[in-house]
Structure 1
Amino acid sequence: MSGMNDLTMANPLFVTFLFYAAILVLKTVLMSLATARHRIGKKIFANPEDAKGLQGKVKLDDPDVERVRRAHLNDLENILPFLIICPLYLATGPNAWMATMLMRGFAATRIIHTFVYLNVVPQPSRGLAFMVGLGITIYMTVQTLLATL
């Protein structure tokens, strides 16, 4: 069965969605930990009560912390819409191979985006990863809308 009519582990497409959704959620959560690691390691914090407890200082413009925070924010802006539209798209009964490739592609682009962002890989690497992921989300959204007409 190729759609989301069967929301059980018996539906290979649903299992694929669960796998990539879990990977993306884990990746997003780990970005919070990466921000905390940078803050604690440099003893710079966003709130006075946090700085006081660890003998740090309040600083909102550290380039390393802000780079991780921007990567995390970009995940939140892109992964959340994907996690919402993907099951809706799957409910339209798309081709299973195409849907699987779109889910894999989106997950790969988000991992690549973070890698190039955090490792300061020159553009257009980050921009390309962003655009491919965004394109996948837009494609799924348009296909979902078309299926409802």
Structure 2
Amino acid sequence: MSEFIKSEVFLAFSTYASIVLLKMMMMGPLTAYFRITRGAFSNPEDAKAHGGKDEDTRKKLLRTDPDVERVRRCHQNDLENIIPFIGIGLLYTFTGPDLSTALLHFRIFIGARIFHSIAYLTPLPQPSRGLSWMLGMGVTFSMAYRVLRAGMHL
């Protein structure tokens, strides 16, 4: 196992997985920032903590905001795409792929996810966000195919 952990493919995967996981983790604080700056809270205790001392003010702060919802949807999309990439990518590293092929998979996915977030949050016109989503999904499916193909040749 220690030989595997020292492999260039696994080290590359660990690096790129860490980058994309950190990117995904940053969406939580970004959501909080938008909630605070837009004065849009989903819980009464949060509204109270941020200026809603009386009932009427709390009710005004308990609302949805388009910017907050956009960040939340972007975060949700990260969860739906990055978690499968991490699981399938780890399995993919066990198949012994060529380093250059693995790096291509990892780099395209990371680039697609970063661009997807930029396209979502800016917002850039479609189909930019959709194409970046498809590209990232295509990478994950490509790795899954390679894992399945390797497993069928045992």
Normalising by the smaller structure, the TM-score range is over 0.9
Letter aligned with residue 95 of structure 1: D
**Which of 58, 63, 78 is equivalent to 2:62?**
58
How far did residue 6 of structure 1 move? 2.7
Please state how far the C-alpha of 1:31 moved relative to its aligned partner.
0.5
Aligned CA-pair RMSD:
1.4
Q: Identity rate of aligned residues, in percent?
A: 47
Tell me how far 1:5 sits from its aligned partner.
7.5
* 1:7, distance to aligned residue in structure 2 (A): 3.4
Question: What's 1:46 paired with?
Answer: 42
SS of 2:10's equivalent in the other structure is helix
Per-residue deviation, residues 126-145 of structure 1 (Å, max 9, x unmatched): 01100000000011111111
Instruction: State the partner residue of 2:30.
Output: 34
Residue 7 of structure 1 is matched in structure 2 by 4
- Of residues 103, 108, 126 in structure 1, which corresponds to 2:106? 103
Give the structure with the higher percent helix: 2
Corresponding residue for residue 121 of structure 1: 124
Shift in alpha-carbon separation, 1:137–1:123, aligned structure 2, 3 A: same
Which consecutive residues of structure 2, in runs of 5 or more, have no partner in the other structure? 53-60
Establish whether residue 22 from structure 1 lines up as the match of residue 18 from structure 2: yes
- Matched residue type, 2:116: H
Which amino acid is the alignment partner of residue 6 of structure 1? E
SS of structure 2 residue aligned to 1:6: helix
Q: C-alpha deviations, 1:49-95, integer Å up to 9, x for none?
A: 11111115111x31000000000000000000000000101111112
1:138 and 2:141 correspond: yes
Q: Could you tell me which runs of 5 or more consecutive residues in structure 1 were left unpaired when the two chains were aligned.
A: none
Runs (4+) off by over 3 Å: none
Larger Rg belongs to: 2
In the comparison of the two structures, how many residue pairs are matched?
A: 144
Q: Are residues 1:72 and 2:68 paired?
A: no
